[in-house]
Structure 1
Amino acid sequence: MTSPRDRVDACPGALQTHTAADGELARVRVPGGSLSAHQLRVLALASRELGDGHLEMTSRGNLQLRGLPVVHDLGDRLADAGLLPSATHERVRNVLASALTGLDDEGHVNASPWVRALDAGLVADPALAELPGRFLAALDDGRGDVIGLGADVGLLALSATEVALVLGGVDSGLRTDPGGAVDLALDAARALLAERAAQDSQAWRLAELDDGPARVAARLTARRGTPVEMPAAPLVGQVGAVAQPDGRTALVGVVPLGRLSADQAELLAELADGVRITPWRTVVVPDLAEEAVDDAAVDLFRTGFVFDEASPWLQVTTCAGRPGCAKSLSDVRADAVAAVTTGRLPADGARQHWAGCGRRCGRPAGALDVVATGDGYSIGAV
């Protein structure tokens, strides 16, 4: 158990913004990473008119806008675009899903319907608005790509007919069928709140509760099975062209340092009816006709997307750094770009996260830390 929290979670949202050195920061929840072309255009325009012209991709598959004025109409814009279905629940809608679910044959189930049902269930229950802003759900179709990303409540398809409930990264042993999976996950979220109250805790995450996973599981009723070991999350995501069973192609590209420009967002909106953003700062452009794939890849490459699985851009993420963050000791983005372009990444180019201070904001699981000290960088795993 970590040290007890002495304050409520102040994780930013689209309405409850964070004041940074470069202005207000808003975080837009994108359950399952799915964005329609219209939503992309709305976000691109908002980033231009209100922010710094970029959308930052987070390690939870959400988006951030920086440099906002203190008074702005971002919430109204998002609500009109379907990106803010509830003012009371907006910070708790942190939902990861397998990046290519339903687009290839790797998963046991299609997790996309789970995303929509879980999001609707969260919003429909007034009590679940009390979940901390750092609450995280992960819906894994069986390929094992997101269940290891540290979710408080997770679903892992073990087969086409059996789903495991995962709590705090551990298999609870509780089982259900795909049709009952979302209801079980919602019950687990309610049980998390009940256990939090029972322990008189302000814990931000389930794992911070005393014996949290076991005690939450004990509050639930479901069929029991033999717990299985959880797969580790991949350090980097898949990139390149992915053949879909219907003959079309999904194109997956990396956005260096996760900074998606308004121009790039608008280009994505031209190429597809919708896209998926992932925890690995990649974008999935699905349903491309065979004859359109090469042109789409060239157009995206020209704006900065990376499709080479050997590229060092797959290995590097950063926090905001200077000048956006007053706590940062360095302009980590500029330093990381220089390291990549000159071929001087530390630790032989291992998966790494550059941070301007010891808080290491935005750090993906499993990354090596490259932390600014005021006199260079400290390098080492945590």
Structure 2
Amino acid sequence: MTGARRNACPTLSAPMRTGDGLLARLQPENGAYTPAQMMGLAQAAARHGNGILEITARGSLQIRGLTETSAEALATEVDALALVPRTGVPVETNPLAGLDPQELADPRSLVESLRTATRERDLASQLGPKVAVVVDGGGRIGLGALLGDLRFAAVSSGWQVSVGGTAETDTVITILPEADALELGLGILEAIAARGRDARGRDLVRDGALSEESGKARQISQNLHPAIGRFTLKSGTIALGLSPMLGEIHADTLLRFTQEAKALGVAELRPAPGYAMLALPLDMTSADALALFAARLGLITDPHDPRLRVSACAGAPACASGHLATRPLAREIAHALACGTAEVHVSGCEKRCAEPHAAVRAVGTAKGVSVNGGAPVAKTQALAAIELALHRNSHDNAA
């Protein structure tokens, strides 16, 4: 089994070495797991890894703590679960695509056309492993925070095509009907590929190969709701969205939740952007019962839960570069966020991987914890420094 190189995306066949062993990431072609498949994955993670599974910011599922031998055994068991992993250029879309009555457009045909065309043109072998496409049909669950080298966003007059960032920071190229947007998008991906495996969408803007169309106003779908809570579907049934704090869940907890979900009639479990997961379909009574059970397991079911305002990288010991155990500190911080709206991010080291915009940033260093760029303090004093930064932020906002 060949390990994934740094800055590549870990897969079942090429897991990535981390501080707590190998890490494998899985995303099914259809984005959904049956309860039987999810229970099988939970049991396999307990047998072959350290029992920790994570839902990523982009809605993938990853299993930690594998060895060379156990990673091969895990891959064999996943094959037996009849899970078809997603391959080719990553094309991300809403986990409720085609099911959400508030969508501006059903993105599924565009997604399928993109996946088919990129495979036919063998673009995955020509593009860097981090290059990704986002297709956002609108609706209640937001994809705006996802970075996209190429982004299609449904607007009232067609598909808005943009490159190189989030929905707020990318460069809008134009708005076109679906077929024309597809052809333009494929041309953009080929232009990225022509610049080599290290190229990204933003390079086309930096090089002057693409620019924002004159007079074309940016339109951003206002789908900013996290994938947590109850979502009424076109069928009249409900999808229940929930999240383990920081996306981290133990195999035993996932197994217990999935067993209860199956008993209540859930047919699919769909990991979602923002470290979340959707269970569907449910009627109102079953959704209430599953939400109550999930809360008892410590899962987040309220989109206003203060724990959602805290984010953290893997940290030590999961990341070999980490100076700080980020997860325990993040849980302490969540306790201190009973009021207010400020967001906090905890990084294990100065690299600050995938750091989101946050009012307060705590970074582990060799000398201690630096809060918002200040002098490092001892780890035992980190929480007090973060609380002080939160107080200052609250005072500044009030002023």
Tell me the TM-score normalised to structure 2 length.
0.77
Q: Higher relative contact order at CA 8 Å, sep ≥6: structure 1 or structure 2?
A: 1
TM-superposed deviation, 1:344? 5.9
Partner of 1:54: 52
Look up the equivalent residue of 1:134 and give its one-letter code: K
Q: Which of these residues, 147, 152, 164, is aligned with residue 149 of structure 2?
A: 152
Residue by residue over 1:21-69, the C-alpha shift from the partner in whole angstroms, topping out at 9 and shown as x without a partner, is: 2111122245685434344234323311211212212222222211101
- Structure 2 CA distance for aligned equivalents of residues 46 and 241 of structure 1: 30
- Structure 2 CA distance for aligned equivalents of residues 318 and 32 of structure 1: 28
Residues 296, 312 of structure 1: alpha-carbon distance in 2 compared, 3 angstrom cutoff:
same
Q: Secondary structure at the match of 2:242?
A: strand
Q: Give the gaps of 5 or more residues in structure 1.
A: 1-6, 219-223
Q: Secondary structure at the match of 1:49?
A: helix
Partner of 1:106: 102
1:229 aligns with 2:230: no
- Structure 1 CA distance for aligned equivalents of residues 227 and 305 of structure 2: 12
- Structure 2 CA distance for aligned equivalents of residues 37 and 181 of structure 1: 36
Partner of 1:192: 192
TM-superposed deviation, 1:141? 0.8
TM-superposed deviation, 1:354? 1.1
Residues 298, 168 of structure 1: alpha-carbon distance in 2 compared, 3 angstrom cutoff:
same
Partner of 2:24: 26
Look up the equivalent residue of 1:277 and give its one-letter code: P
Across the two proteins, how many residue pairs are aligned to each other? 356
- Structure 1 CA distance for aligned equivalents of residues 337 and 175 of structure 2: 48
How is 1:341-352 mapped onto 2 (pairs within 5 angstroms)?
Answer: 341=335, 343=336, 350-352=342-344
Q: Give the gaps of 5 or more residues in structure 2.
A: 374-399
Partner of 2:267: 273
Range with bigger deviation, 134-143 or 227-236: 227-236
Residues 57 and 274 of structure 2 are in contact (CA less than 8 Å); yes or no, is this contact kept in structure 1?
A: yes
1:257 aligns with 2:250: no
Partner of 1:361: 353
Partner of 1:206: 201
Partner of 1:312: 306
Tell me the TM-score normalised to structure 1 length.
0.80
Residue by residue over 1:166-198, the C-alpha shift from the partner in whole angstroms, topping out at 9 and shown as x without a partner, is: 11143543343235554543343222212x14x
Q: Secondary structure at the match of 1:135?
A: coil
Look up the equivalent residue of 1:106 and give its one-letter code: Q
TM-superposed deviation, 1:316? 1.3
Q: Which of these residues, 288, 293, 311, is aligned with residue 299 of structure 1?
A: 293
Tell me the percent identity.
26
How is 1:157-196 mapped onto 2 (pairs within 5 angstroms)?
Answer: 157-159=154-156, 162-169=158-165, 170-178=170-178, 181-194=181-194, 196=195
Q: Secondary structure at the match of 2:68?
A: coil
- Structure 2 CA distance for aligned equivalents of residues 305 and 83 of structure 1: 27
- Structure 1 CA distance for aligned equivalents of residues 270 and 346 of structure 2: 25
Question: In terms of Rg, which structure is larger?
Answer: 2
Look up the equivalent residue of 1:206 and give its one-letter code: G
- Structure 2 CA distance for aligned equivalents of residues 69 and 379 of structure 1: 35
Range with bigger deviation, 95-104 or 50-59: 95-104
Q: Secondary structure at the match of 1:329?
A: coil
